[in-house]
Structure 1
């Protein structure tokens, strides 16, 4: 992935509504969600939702599939993987050093250094 492409993806996610849509679709998994369910879940007006879905589709973060009268959107995991690889390519001087730690809410997060236990 080139720097300009990564910047475009990150800029798209820099808007609160688009980030909320994207996170919801990532959470939904490969099954994705139909437009009406996305709008209902996020309490977003149809025109606003359509605008943001179009933007996320244009940059390649999500993809829509027509199902009869509905369009089902899902996250484009290949693009997400490329972006993560780009962002972490030179992490820790190229060494495999990321470990996953748990925050107070139990959510996993990457840490550039192994967690160590301090003794008193």
Structure 2
């Protein structure tokens, strides 16, 4: 992830409805939520939410997939990991593992199995 991609992701999250939708999707885990479920939970009209979800998707923070006549969304783990890795890359003198709270996994940029 570069500076431009990180700025796009933060810009996407800087709007209250998008941030709330993102947090709901984080809580939903791998199962995700349909656009209708999100709209109802957030009290937002479907067409308005659709626009917000598109912004989050373009920023690489969520992914949507068709399920019949509806779309189901979930957090894009790779995109969120890339953003987290970008933010922590220079943490603690280049040792981001020192910046993480106890019990958290190493950021993906420093895991050998990712090849990144």
Structure (1 or 2) with the greater strand fraction: 1
Runs of 4+ in structure 1 over 3 Å off: none
- Root-mean-square deviation (CA, aligned residues, Å) is 1.4
Q: Does structure 1 retain, via aligned residues, the 8 Å contact 2:21–2:38?
A: yes
- Secondary structure, counterpart of 1:100 in structure 2: coil
For the structure 1 residues 64 and 99, does the alpha-carbon distance in structure 2 shift closer, same or farther, using more than 3 Å as the test?
Answer: closer
CA distance in 2, matches of 1:72, 1:84: 24
Work out whether 1:100 is the aligned partner of 2:101.
Answer: yes
Q: Give deviations 1:5-60, integer Å, cap 9, x for gaps.
A: 10111111011111111111111111100111101111111121011011111221
Q: CA deviation at 1:98?
A: 2.3
CA distance in 2, matches of 1:62, 1:55: 9
Q: Does structure 1 retain, via aligned residues, the 8 Å contact 2:32–2:72?
A: yes
Q: Which has the larger radius of gyration?
A: 1
**Structure 2 unaligned runs (5+)?**
105-116
The equivalent residue for 1:113 is: none
**Structure 1 unaligned runs (5+)?**
102-107, 109-120
- Secondary structure, counterpart of 2:72 in structure 1: strand
The equivalent residue for 1:87 is: 87
Structure (1 or 2) with the greater helix fraction: 2
Aligned length: 102
TM (normalized to structure 2)?
Answer: 0.82
The equivalent residue for 1:28 is: 28
The equivalent residue for 1:55 is: 55
For the structure 1 residues 8 and 34, does the alpha-carbon distance in structure 2 shift closer, same or farther, using more than 3 Å as the test?
Answer: same
